[in-house]
Amino acid sequence: MLKHLFAELIQCAGSSAIYSYIALVVVGVVTTLFYMRNRLRPSLGGTEAINCSANAANVVSVNYHFTRQCNYSCKFCFHTAKTSHLVPIEEACRGMKLLKEAGMRKINFSGGEPFLIRRGKQVGQMVRYAKETLQLESVTIVTNGSLVTEEWFEQYGQWLDIMAISCDSFDEGTNELIGRTAANAAARQVEVAYRVQELCGRFGVKFKLNTVVNTHNVNEDMTEHIARLQPARWKVFQCLLIDGENAGGQDLRDARALVITDDQFAAFLARHKALSPIAESNSVMRNSYVIVDEYFRFLNNVNGSKEPSMSILDKGVQGAWGKTVFDQAGFVERSGEYEWTRLAEKNSTGTSTSTSTLARIPDTNVVLRAVKELSD
């Protein structure tokens, strides 16, 4: 909603400095009110205010974390390498078919790192099956981007709607502190983001950015880079602790020192309000995703840890859903359903044009000029 509002205001403002200023002030007020409403949401430690449906009618958008293996070591990772299990491609396709029959319209492939398995061939084959055979509205990937290649796009890009890159900082020292890097990485994370953005544009795939706000990047100003990257969607997450994953003790990760306060998160959002980020606080994020793990089990996070259901491959979608809790209000509040199909195909000149009406982050010069005027 805020992205659409900002886009309309900027369009109306044109090149006028005073109208750009007014547009930013209006969006800032709305963003503040929106975030305050998020903070007033009840705690999701129990089942209060959560749509705890007894059926699987909420599987419209599914996040399939098909691997826990990764080449990075992000300290706040919430899906750590506790197993190396990988469902055979045939079984994965059967599971996706069951989800489609239960109402799934969008699937997101995540990990771990999706491109680590068979050098991206596994996720590529699943992307093709999901779009070509199941004909899902939206097929997306979340990746750190380090293993994404032009050859992969040439082979599988036509079936992908959105590629999201995890990028938590535009300072490489900060990325190293976070663990958003690999010892043998061919390129640094900032370079990776720009390279994947260029590939997405060339192959008609929407480009998205995910940023986890934590103690290492909470004071960073990312305005210039985000404006230049022009993501179709910039999601900003408050660092979240998950028992059994990143909460210390016996967990593979300890993110306790990376957790920020609600006020710190609000300050980060206020600093970037001109870019209209999609904000996800801990309360909104915790139960507003339908997550399927590497065994094709639903993960229930209502008690602060990801409790698995029975496998969809054994019990079917309805049988596996069981006591899975899904926060439908949170899903709506974080704009979980949006214009999620790919860009238009390349035209005769070889360039890609978008037919989507999804509000994009405004032109780089407009944003930077407006931000400068606000600071003067």
Q: Just list the catalytic residues.
A: 70, 74, 77
Q: Look-up: residue for tokens 């990988």?
A: 86
Tokens of 176: 């190293």
How does strand 106-110 pair with strand 297-300?
unpaired
Cβ neighbours, 10 Å, residue 16:
11
Query: Could you tell me if 130 and 159 are in contact, meaning their C-beta atoms sit under 8 angstroms apart?
Result: yes
Tokens of 23: 């547009």
> Could you please report the per-residue DSSP string of 4-30?
HHHHHHHHHHTT-HHHHHHHHHHHHHH
Instruction: Kindly list the distances between the CA atom of residue 82 and the CA atoms of 111, 263, 289, in Å, as whole numbers in the listed order.
Output: 12, 33, 21
> Which helix or strand (DSSP H or E) is residue 177 part of?
helix 172-178
Query: Could you tell me if 92 and 123 are in contact, meaning their C-beta atoms sit under 8 angstroms apart?
Result: no
The number of C-alpha atoms within 13 Å of 72 and in the hemisphere containing its C-beta is: 30
Distance CA 258, CA 252 (A): 15
CA trace torsion 67, 72, 73, 78 (10° rounding)? -40
Distance CA 221, CA 219 (A): 7
DSSP SS3 for 322:
coil
Cross-strand bridge partners of residue 162 = 140, 206
Distance CA 189, CA 267 (A): 24
DSSP SS3 for 139:
strand
